[in-house]
């Protein structure tokens, strides 16, 4: 009896705490509460990941979101209900809208009470994205055509539309793995990760890839690789401190080992993958120690990819 009373006190207490908690702690609205019309679902299961990655934007004024490929709006409605909740938040939705998808999308926006927050653009993303303003979007989700050449172009345009500090999300990273590269998104996403590696932070690699746009610490960038607190300048073969460009001396052997290490990144990868011979070099160890390198950070993709929130690579 006493135990039952105690238990009911605990329940009341938990309910009270939940009623006080800010909505951002429990940001996911159950879209089934409203009378939406959806015939497919490519989004369910991703909500916890999106809520975590986009947490900083929830309920904030003026958040500007671009979704490339919206279909009936399942992911778009989730964004409107869970992230773009401030009256001044805005979405731009680009889609070719086959058959009656545009009407369904707009009806769903009306059901959400968010029609006014969304600019709808009907057309091919490869033609429409180039008309949008540069450095204007906080979050961009690329989920239109999944053919490599289209993803490639969508990424290139989107990059310049994204603000510094903004988040870029790609869907279906490893879609159609048994098909040739030209028919799937992976090669374009990995080409992007490889080419823009100095201007991104990888947030997540799973069914989706998520990156943040950051400032490249190399100026000029053509001759330079940033690593930890340093910049390596390839033409002059000098290692300098990022903070004041002061030179760090390297012996001939150290320089050779260091360059080998910098070249050990695989295509599409963020982490370094030095071969066993380099790993076993005492001089290499000592150099890394002298430079105060965080090797566990450099040798692993320290992102949310093992995070198991609804997806696996």
Q: Which stretch binds ligand SAM (CB under 6 A): 26-34, 144-152, 256-264, 286-294?
A: 144-152
Tell me the sheet residues that pair with 204. 210
Beta bridge partners of residue 121, listed in sequence order: 94
Kindly provide the residue ranges of all beta strands, DSSP E only, lying in the chain, ordered along the sequence: 64-68, 90-95, 118-122, 137-142, 162-170, 200-205, 209-213, 224-227, 230-233, 238-241, 247-248
74 binds ligand SAM (CB under 6 A): yes
Among 194, 227, 198, 221, smallest CA distance to 209 is for 194
Directed axis angle between helix 148-161 and helix 186-195, to 10°?
A: 40
Question: Of the candidates 312, 310, 313, which has an alpha carbon nearest to the alpha carbon of residue 47?
Answer: 310
Contact between 185 and ligand SAM per CB under 6 A: no
* 94 counts as binding ligand SAM under rule CB under 6 A: yes
Output 70 or 239, the one with its CB closest to ligand SAM.
70
Residue nearest to ligand SAM (CB): 69
> Using CB under 6 A, which of the segments 65-73, 232-240, 264-272, 300-308 binds ligand SAM?
65-73
Which DSSP state fits 313? -
185-216 burial code (b ≥16 CB/10 A, e <16): bbbbbbbbbeebbbbbebbbbbbbbbbbbeee
Considering only the stretches 63-71, 230-238, 244-252, 267-275, report the one whose residues sit in contact with ligand SAM under the rule CB under 6 A.
63-71
Please, how many CA atoms are within 13 Å of residue 155, restricted to the half-sphere of its CB? 27
In whole angstroms, how close is the CB of 171 to ligand SAM at the nearest point?
7
Question: Taking CB under 6 A as the rule, does residue 98 contact ligand SAM?
Answer: yes
Residue with tokens 């929130």: 309
Contact 103, 39 (CB under 8 A): no
Using CB under 6 A as the binding rule, whether residue 95 contacts ligand SAM is answered as: yes
Q: Does 124 bind ligand SAM (CB under 6 A)?
A: yes
How far apart are CB 309 and ligand SAM at their closest, in Å?
17
Which stretch, 8-16, 26-34, 89-97, 186-194, contacts ligand SAM (CB under 6 A)?
Answer: 89-97
The smaller minimum CB distance to ligand SAM, of residues 125 and 225, is found at 125
Among 64, 92, 108, 145, binds ligand SAM (CB under 6 A): 145
Q: Is residue 71 part of the contact set for ligand SAM (CB under 6 A)?
A: yes
Total residues at interface with ligand SAM (CB under 6 A): 19
Which residues of the shown chain bind ligand SAM in the complex (CB under 6 A)? 42-43, 69-71, 74-75, 94-96, 98, 101, 124-126, 143-145, 150
């Amino acid at each position: 009896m006493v135990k039952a009373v105690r238990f009911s006190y605990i329940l009341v207490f938990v309910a009270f705490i939940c009623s006080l908690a800010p909505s951002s702690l429990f940001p996911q609205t159950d879209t089934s509460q409203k009378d939406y019309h959806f015939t497919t679902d490519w989004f369910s299961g991703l909500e916890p990941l999106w809520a975590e990655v986009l947490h900083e934007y929830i309920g904030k004024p003026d958040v500007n979101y671009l979704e490339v490929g919206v279909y009936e709006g399942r992911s778009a409605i989730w964004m409107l209900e869970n992230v773009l909740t401030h009256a001044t938040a805005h979405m731009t939705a680009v889609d070719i809208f086959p058959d009656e998808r545009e009407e369904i999308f707009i009806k769903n926006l009306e059901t959400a009470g968010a029609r006014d927050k969304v600019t709808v653009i009907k057309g091919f993303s490869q033609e429409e994205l180039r008309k949008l303003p540069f450095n204007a979007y906080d979050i961009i989700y690329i989920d239109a055509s999944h053919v490599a050449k289209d993803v490639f172009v969508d990424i290139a345009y989107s990059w310049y539309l994204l603000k510094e500090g903004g988040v870029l999300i790609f869907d279906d990273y490893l879609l159609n793995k048994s098909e040739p590269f030209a028919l799937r998104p992976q090669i374009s996403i990995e080409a992007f990760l490889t080419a823009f590696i100095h201007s991104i932070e990888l947030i997540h690699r799973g069914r989706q890839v998520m990156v943040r746009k950051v400032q490249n610490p190399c100026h000029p960038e053509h001759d330079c690789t940033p690593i930890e607190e340093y910049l390596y300048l390839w033409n002059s073969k000098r290692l300098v401190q990022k903070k004041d460009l002061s030179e760090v001396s390297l012996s001939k052997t150290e320089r050779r080992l260091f360059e080998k290490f910098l070249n050990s990144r695989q295509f599409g990868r963020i982490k370094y993958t030095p071969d066993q011979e380099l790993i076993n070099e005492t001089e290499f160890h000592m150099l890394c120690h002298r430079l105060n390198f965080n090797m566990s950070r450099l040798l692993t993709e320290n992102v949310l990819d093992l995070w198991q929130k609804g997806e696996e690579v």
